[in-house]
Structure 1
Amino acid sequence: MTDEASTPQHTPAAPYGTPDVPRVAVRGEARLEVDPEIARISITVSARGKDRRAALDDLTRRNAQLIELTKTYGAAVEKLETGSFSVTPEPAQHGRSERIRAYHGRVHVTVVLNDFTALGELATRIADLDMTRVSGPWWSLRSDSPAHAEARRQAVREAVKRAREYAGALDARLAALVELADLGAENAAASAPMPAAPGGLRSRAAYGGAESEAPAALDLEPQLQTVYAQVNARFTMTPPEL
């Protein structure tokens, strides 16, 4: 049978500092500017016909042409995704009957590229297709980018450095780490994809212009991405020399 009086009792640490074991609380921050890893462009393929079948046939043909062109860039295209698809009737403007004037078809496609040397050429060639709109590019980092981890490491080092400076100002030194709290540090707004410009590129055929030979490729400069990290840290330190 265990003697309760002889059993050592664990005394929880106080949530605040004491004169013998003072605490110092600091915040560490880091902000990095790094090159983007991927670029996304958004594409809308449209078709219009006096009957539903004609609109569908044109839309199918243009969508296939877009996908075929995009796939010729091989590994430079990291992701090719079809979003929404719609065929919408346009009622006649006059009269109470259900007469349909035309049908409008649209397909939305997203392309993600990891090779920026191919980006300008592909975006320009897509914009030159019939009834096609291109928006972007939106530059970003991958969710598992090493830049996020590096920002967190720098924030922790900054917290330790700042705590040592506070302790040193009192002729004390850090004794132990009590708490390290992640604040959900990456700034989603800063590292999120940013549009290069409003609107987008639209094919000349969409405006009724005649087709010509392939246009010169756009020169698109990658936009630096900002990664931000914050941590809260608490340390104990030796008694100061006051």
Structure 2
Amino acid sequence: DASINFALAQSRAMQVVPLHVQVRDAAGRWRTVIPDLGFPAGKNKTVIADLTGKFLSADTRVRIRTNMEIYWDRAFVAATASASPVTVTTLPPVTADLHYRGFSRMDRKGGRYGPQWYDYADVSRAPAWAPIAGAFTRYGDVLPLLDASDDMYIIFGPGDEVALQFDTAVAPPVPPGWTRDFVLYTDAWMKDADLNTAAGGTVEPLPFHGMSRYPYAADETFPGDTAHRRFIETYNTRRVGRGSYNR
């Protein structure tokens, strides 16, 4: 949350302590062996830590420390995961349609203090959040924007949905004894409209892979070559203002 992070940045009494992994040394003291374990990217996510060569003694106890409000419901060790054969098949989307859908009903998974979860079948089309002003991607076919991880991408706001279809028939048969999982790979940026989020109330400035930070300084600009200008003129034509929400 941007407001919480902003408050912590101004506090002399407390600073954010990132997730870090500790093990016992030969004297029984806890030592940090992974200083930054990262951050769970969304709800109900798995965080993986490679413990190869991390133990400092025969004591194999492990602990994870932080002062952030993170809830764990399971911890386990996979000793043979690296030995398991894996075959990766890339399936590009065959259709991609951007449209307004609305907001799925929010619930708490596992009880009152569980993570926020959403019922996709129970949707409200009424606006639920203040609009973010700027030029969004026009509705309709957006498949050409998903060809590569570049700076020509879909810009969608509260209530928008990108519906993708993949042709699994082109994937090779699953060998006997194997299982097949599907992983959706995305390359994206996200910002909310929190009052303490930098440029949170507007679409612009547009992010790009070569930027050193966001918002970037005046000496950095979004690519302005012919291809990127054509991208903006062709796709970023759905204007949304602060006073209204256009569908």
Could you say which TM-score interval applies, normalised by the shorter chain? Answer: under 0.3
Task: Give the alignment's TM-score, normalised by structure 2.
Answer: 0.21
The structure with the greater share of residues assigned to strand is: 1
The structure with the greater share of residues assigned to helix is: 1
Which protein shows a greater Rg?
1
Task: Give the alignment's TM-score, normalised by structure 1.
Answer: 0.21
